[in-house]
Structure 1
Amino acid sequence: MQLSTSCIFLVLITLFRAVSASSSNFTLKCYSPGTDLAGANIYVTDDNKIYIANSTLTASGVVIANGSLQMEDGKMMGIGKNFLSLQADSASFEIAYPFIIENGVLKLYDEDFHAVPSGKDGVYVLGSVNAAAGRDDVIPIQIKAIGNDGNAVSDYKGSSVTSTSSYSVLGSQTFDESSASAAALSTATSTTLAKSSSKNIAPSMRFNENNVFAALLIAMIF
């Protein structure tokens, strides 16, 4: 009986750790070949906004179990009016999720991202795929999740993220090099996208690790 109980708790501890696990730490690297942002970096400044430019500054983070993105300073990535930042700058601001890492690429709502001109020459701000949709000066980008060894980190989906397909409400704008290049040259055709509201498209998800742990314990005992 003692051995059986020990085995049960070892299994539970393993499962609990798996539930609580996060992704590997990674640097957010802009990928947009053939555009003004080819080779650009993603970084955060004192105003807590997320910028993309040909800069030596970088930003790193980790995706945690509930699908949120925690940056290196401990702040959580949020979204307001479809633009990403670490601090509320609009009434619609909320924590952004679910983030996942798929084939070494960071995605939000199972989509890539938009780089939108900031008003400063060569500097863009980071938005979701819905940010400034239809504008011909927007550059579609991917965000590569690069580990300390210079390679893409392993794929990761938080344990409380069941599906991301339903979060893409505005038609899929999948990244490809030709569309990114066209946007950079301001020759992209404006696309009319139907929007049901101007609010962020973010799911309401909550996760309680204690409940999972208790349920697993009861199931193993009985």
Structure 2
Amino acid sequence: LTAQSAPAALFELWWMTHLRPGILGRFAPDPDLRRLLLPGDLDRLVALIETPEPAWSTEDRDALLTRTLAAAWADCSTRLGPDPAAWAWSHLHQALMRHAASPLRGNAEWDVGPHGVGGSQSTVMNMAYRPEDFSVTSGASVRLVMDVGDWDRSLCLNYPGQSGDPRSRHYADLAETWAASDHVPFLYSPDAISKATARLLRFKPATSPGRSAV
């Protein structure tokens, strides 16, 4: 489910918005019961498709697949345009980091994104999303690749940046790198860190008359 994949956009929209609800509607026609079953057990739903008998007939399975896929194609065309070559999963699958203080501030100045990303809740690069609008709800905000043979060759990523201070230029400087599933160096040795240091902050306790700093 790469970010720029057109088939990924069609598949996820088909599965989450049309096929999955169609299967649940077929076996749980009562809407109140169906709400209790959401989002549906993935393995069981796939099993009903791969081996329809004896739960339902192959003909009914095929008819549902055909009907829901046609609906998903039309839906994708409405959302992403009539040219399938221009479709991309990242145009639907968006990650937006809302700062906890944004509602209190009354603006989105500290929010980061949205960024189009790949993946889903069923992939290695987990990026779960809300079925209603495909907005990302969870994913790895910290990634580490450790080289125990050469620590300075390790990689990392901290989303959205290296600083928790919105005033810093490093507050959101890694957001696009994160969205691209890329990394930055995770330096270990003092020499490597010193060579890469752009700014150094030293914190010293304030002294008061009659007291010395510890």
TM-score by length of 2: 0.23
For the pair shown, the structure with the greater C-alpha radius of gyration is 2
- Determine which structure has the larger helix proportion and give its number: 2
Larger RCO, structures 1/2 (Cα 8 Å, 6+ apart): 1
